Chain A
Amino acid sequence: MIEKKWYQVVFNSILIIVALIMILPLVLLFISSITNENTLVANGYSFVPDKLSLGAYEYIATNYATIGRAYVISILVTVLGTTMGLFITSMMSFALSIKNLPGSRVISFFVFFTLLFNGGLMPSYVLWTSLGVVNTIWAYVLPFWLTNAFSIILVRSYFSANIPDELYESAKIDGAGFFRIFLKMAIPLGKPILVTIGLFSGLLYWNDWQNGLYFITDSQYLSIQAMLNKMNQNLQAVLSNSSYASSGAVMNLPQVSIRMAIAFVAILPILVAYPFLQKYFASGIMQGAVKG
């Protein structure tokens, strides 16, 4: 018994240190965002700053136009991308899960082959640019992330395993029945897998900055992550688009802490939702198990 307790103490101590390593950098991000600008410049980033200040957040609150706009774009993109993606993915997966569907082998291969080969960034960049997504909200939604073969295959296996064959047979007799079965049976039955896929997709869209880098040149269309990326290079160029540029507010902005404040605002929705969602993330990773 004593030996057992000894293990628990050692293992717990190691894991507490690990947990701190995982969490503390994000705490530093938050503390930096509420550190007084002069303290920050004099003493550097610190977990225990001499002087706190809400200056960065006050700046965001009074100049909410620029950041608010980016935030709305991020929300819109996440909602649109996730729902559209789930919709087209689940329809394809449903169709492919039906036994004896003529041509399903060919279509499965068509889906699957995208895992094996790709044209690389350059052709995709040229194609999407020529399709006119540049400086629109679709630049975030459409290129790269909407669906992928892996999700389609995962959802298809789930449907095949959980929807009884007799249902398909009865749907086949009256042709239009497939639509009904998809909406009334497949979607509710497939909820666990669809929630998981939707969650990962939502996370991907919220965190995506790459499409903003590739396809957005007009600061008006920056999402919050794309804006953070752009601010990394030039804070003023991004914020000077706000109407306060002329009034000189840009000159006085707390440059160092404001970056951190905007970064913190960007991760806030994830931090708030994480306690509720983490079990779905965990089970999603475990389900997709090795193939993730």
Chain B
Amino acid sequence: MKKWLKWKPYIPLYLMMIPCAAYLLVNNYIPMFGIIAAFKKFRVTEGILGSPWVGWKNFEYLLSSGDLAIIVRNTLLYNATFIVVNTIIGLFLAILITEIKSPRMKKLYQSSILLPFTMSMVVISYVVFAFLSQQNGMLNHSIFKDNPVQWYSDATWWPLILVIVECWKNVGYGALIYIAGIANIDKSLYEAGAIDGAGKWKQIRHVTLPALVPSIITLFLLSVSRIGYSDFGLFYLIPQNSGTLFNVTATIDTYVYGSLMSPGGIGRSAATGLLQAVVGFVLILVVNGIVRKMSSKDAIF
């Protein structure tokens, strides 16, 4: 009875939680149990629960096919490159933008670097196609006029193209975070620097950059914790899902989708997804532990 009295006033609150909790249960938790499909030979008619167990077969196939090595290598290398490139260019843009005196220009620059972020990857794939299309592309009609490149089947340029597209779309996001970080720096530090005769470059090097180190490291570590996940749209749409580019454009996520849609590939898809989730789980715990040690307020938990 006593216990009931303690809970009673809160009943409306529990009712308010139900829709969201139910959604998380269906959308997030039930699929977690679906990982057993990685150890099964999936049959549509029998569902995940009814399909027969096959032990590690799906994983063995993954390893023996050689696909795993390619997609893991691509995912890691691309993400590592994105992290480095976005940090450097993002910082560079943030510093330039905060130095601009005219508030109107400042606002204009800020809005323009964030604009690509609001575009869908499908639309971006159309824009990229306008540049790269074999017959009508801008590049083959200008710079590469004399020896046109078969962009969508020639792997040479794809690492560069994907890095450029990713940076173009997302660099504004990181730059804005750094701009917010710079805005929080104590202005008197710059004034003190100016009195000591420090020029712009010295102020940036000795005041701005050191002050940004915590947010750079936190952003960096958070990206590291997601290094096993890739932007599906970037790797699936921008290369137009071209099979000949598999070696340089396939990542774990495109592979998970590709196997899911190919006949008999469902088990492989589940196995790859499980590997990705487990590695992601371990990484986020490790990274959070590190962030917590360095600056506990930035830790995710």
Contact = CB atoms under 8 A, between A and B. Distances in A.
A185 interface: no
Nearest to B32: A119
Interface in A127-157: 127, 130-131, 142-144, 146-147, 149, 152
A45 B136 contact: yes
Contact of A15 (B109, B222, B273, B300): B109
Q: How large is the interface on B (under 10, 10 to 19, 20 to 34, 35 or more residues)?
A: 35 or more
B31 interface: yes
Interface string A180-196: 00100000000000000
B273 A112 contact: no
Contacts of A285: 114, 173, 176-177, 180
A123 B138 contact: no
Interface string A109-124: 0111011111111111
B111 to A, nearest CB: 5
Interface in B30-73: 30-35, 37, 47-48
Interface string A248-282: 00000000100110010011001000110010011
Nearest to A203: B118
A134 B115 CA distance: 32
Given A120-B277, A282-B110, A41 B136 contact: yes
Interface in A26-82: 26, 28-29, 32, 40-41, 43-46
B10 A101 contact: yes
B32 A44 contact: no
Interface range, A side:
35 or more
A11 B105 CA distance: 11
B113 interface: yes
A98 B13 contact: yes
Contacts of B12: 175-179
Nearest to A270: B118
Given A44-B140, A267-B123, A290-B215, A126 B17 contact: no
A25 B266 CA distance: 38
Nearest to A19: B112
B118 A15 contact: no
A107 B29 CA distance: 13
B34 A121 contact: no
Contacts of A98: 10, 13
B126 A260 contact: yes
Contacts of B301: 112
Contacts of B140: 44
A289 B180 contact: yes
A258 to B, nearest CB: 11
Contacts of B105: 12, 15
B260 interface: yes
Interface stretch (B155-163, B185-193, B232-240): B232-240
A182 B16 contact: yes
A292 interface: yes
Contacts of B7: 102
B256 A122 contact: yes
B16 A95 contact: yes
Contact of B123 (A3, A29, A43, A176): A29
A122 B269 contact: yes
Contact of B177 (A130, A149, A292): A292
A163 interface: no
B27 A117 contact: no
B123 A122 contact: no
Interface stretch (B78-86, B91-99, B243-251): B91-99
A243 interface: no
B27 A116 contact: no
B24 interface: yes
Closest CB pairs A-B (n = 6): A123-B34, A120-B273, A119-B31, A44-B141, A207-B120, A92-B20
Interface of B: 6-14, 16-17, 19-21, 23-24, 26-35, 37, 47-48, 93, 96-97, 99-101, 105, 108-123, 125-127, 130-131, 133, 135-138, 140-141, 168, 172-173, 176-177, 179-181, 199-200, 215, 218-219, 222, 232-233, 237, 240, 253, 256-257, 260, 266, 269-270, 272-274, 276-277, 280-281, 284-285, 298, 300-301
20 contacts: A11-B96, A25-B116, A91-B19, A110-B24, A120-B35, A147-B24, A178-B13, A207-B121, A228-B120, A228-B122, A266-B123, A267-B120, A274-B111, A281-B118, A282-B110, A285-B177, A286-B176, A289-B177, A289-B180, A290-B177
